[in-house]
């Protein structure tokens, strides 16, 4: 059996190059490291080190051993994390998302669920979901496209449709719908964490300026005193929350009818977790706004 502490000593020695630095980094004594190196050579039955007066280096075999030791330690770390994540998901559904809208809808339906749900407040990128589902980091991920493999599947939830909130006295506000092109040259107040919507609005609106706000509090504070156009959707409903009451707010919400202003939403999950996930999907589907 391989002892982890011996593998850690070997990997650390390969990184630092000296016994003293290895001992310091691992917070042990140098004689402890020396004995560990000797034990590793005995256990493996190979020479891992070239020993010279006042110097010790790895042999070619030792270099390979250090590389393999690093692989073993990483695999063990990932296996433990995967098991721990799986166990946590038996008691709590961890939900991640690429787009923010479904997160807002889930918050509204959570009181109706018997399952305990934890929603990540940080959006994930489009290239992450498969790995994050497979290693059980998340039980459920909202994605703008379907994900299907031998172990992962996804269900269609609905469509998120973008709208623009404009000052009612702007000439663009006097219509029942609008296009991105008709919003050209305007400056917009936007929450920074909007996932793929960010690239869409930047590419679709000619000569626009976007005043991105990382903090929701800053967004709301600016909204109190300025009527910059802002975006919302059928999923956000009243989010971002109006900074003014209905009687004070001079903005009107107008749907954007470009095809790129409509985004499909899927719920992706491990096939093995289908029984636990289905009630959440049913609640979201039933609550999905028209």
**193: domain CATH number?**
3.40.190.10
Do 166 and 257 share a structural domain?
yes
Do 182 and 112 share a structural domain?
no
Span 57-106, pLDDT tens digits: 999 999 999 999 899 888 888 887 777 666 666 667 899 999 999 999 99
**250: Cα separation from own chain's centroid:** 36
Do 152 and 269 share a structural domain?
yes
Query: What range does the domain containing 16 cover?
Result: 4-80
Integer angstrom CA distances of residue 266 from 111, 216, 220: 22, 26, 30
Do 128 and 196 share a structural domain?
no
Question: SS3 for 282?
Answer: helix
Do 167 and 248 share a structural domain?
yes
Do 207 and 132 share a structural domain?
no
Phi, psi dihedrals of residue 193, rounded to the nearest 5°: -90, 75
Look at the alpha carbons of 223, 224, 228, 234 in this order and tell me if their dihedral is positive or negative. Answer: positive
Question: SS3 for 252?
Answer: strand
Do 96 and 73 share a structural domain?
no
Do 115 and 62 share a structural domain?
no
- Of 56, 80, 104, the one marking the end of a domain is 80
Confidence of residue 239 (pLDDT cuts 50, 70, 90): low
Kindly state the tokens that stand for 203: 């590419």
Distance separating alpha carbons of residues 214 and 218, to the nearest angstrom:
8
Q: What is the pLDDT of residue 247?
A: 45
Nearest-5° Cα angle at 190, 185 to 194: 120
Phi, psi dihedrals of residue 61, rounded to the nearest 5°: -65, -40
> Are the C-beta atoms of 158 and 285 separated by less than 8 Å?
yes
Confidence of residue 216 (pLDDT cuts 50, 70, 90): confident
Residue 240 above 60 pLDDT? no
Do 56 and 38 share a structural domain?
yes
pTM tops 0.95: no
**140: Cα separation from own chain's centroid:** 12
Integer angstrom CA distances of residue 190 from 128, 164, 212, 215, 238: 25, 11, 5, 10, 15
CATH number at residue 38: 1.10.10.10
> Are the C-beta atoms of 23 and 16 separated by less than 8 Å?
no
In a 13 Å sphere around the CA of 87, the CA atoms on its Cβ side amount to 6
Do 249 and 174 share a structural domain?
yes
Integer angstrom CA distances of residue 9 from 69, 154, 176, 247: 10, 44, 69, 68
Span 5-60, pLDDT tens digits: 888 899 999 999 888 899 998 899 999 988 988 988 898 899 999 988 888 999 99
> Are the C-beta atoms of 246 and 238 separated by less than 8 Å?
no
Do 148 and 272 share a structural domain?
yes
Phi, psi dihedrals of residue 252, rounded to the nearest 5°: -120, 150
Q: What is the average per-residue pLDDT within 126-131?
A: 88
Number of domains in the chain: 3
Q: What is the pLDDT of residue 246?
A: 46
Do 113 and 68 share a structural domain?
no
């Amino acid at each position: 059996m391989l002892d982890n502490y011996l593998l850690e000593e070997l990997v650390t020695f390969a990184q630092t190059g000296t016994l003293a630095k290895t001992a310091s980094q691992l917070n042990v004594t140098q004689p402890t490291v020396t004995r560990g190196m000797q034990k590793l050579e005995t256990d493996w039955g190979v020479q891992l080190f070239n020993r010279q007066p006042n110097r010790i280096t790895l042999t070619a075999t030792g270099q390979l051993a250090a590389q393999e030791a690093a692989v073993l330690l990483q695999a063990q770390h990932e296996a433990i994390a995967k098991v721990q994540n799986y166990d946590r998901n038996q008691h709590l559904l961890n939900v991640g998302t690429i787009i923010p809208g479904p997160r807002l809808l889930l918050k509204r339906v959570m009181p109706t669920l018997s399952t305990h749900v934890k929603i990540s407040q940080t959006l994930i990128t489009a290239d992450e979901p498969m790995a994050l589902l497979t290693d059980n980091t998340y039980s459920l991920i909202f994605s703008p496209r379907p994900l299907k493999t031998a172990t992962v599947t996804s269900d269609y939830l609905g469509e998120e449709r973008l709208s623009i909130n404009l000052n009612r006295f702007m000439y663009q506000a006097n219509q029942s719908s609008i296009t991105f092109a008709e919003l050209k040259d305007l400056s917009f107040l936007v929450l920074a964490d909007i996932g793929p919507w960010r690239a869409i609005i930047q590419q679709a609106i000619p000569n626009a300026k976007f005043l991105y706000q990382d903090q929701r509090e800053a967004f709301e504070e600016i909204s109190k005193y300025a009527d910059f156009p802002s975006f919302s959707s059928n999923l956000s409903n009243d989010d971002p929350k109006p900074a003014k009451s209905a009687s004070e707010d001079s903005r009107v919400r107008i749907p954007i009818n470009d095809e790129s202003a409509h985004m499909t939403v899927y719920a992706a999950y491990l096939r093995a977790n289908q029984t636990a996930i289905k009630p959440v999907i049913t609640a979201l589907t039933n609550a999905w706004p028209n």
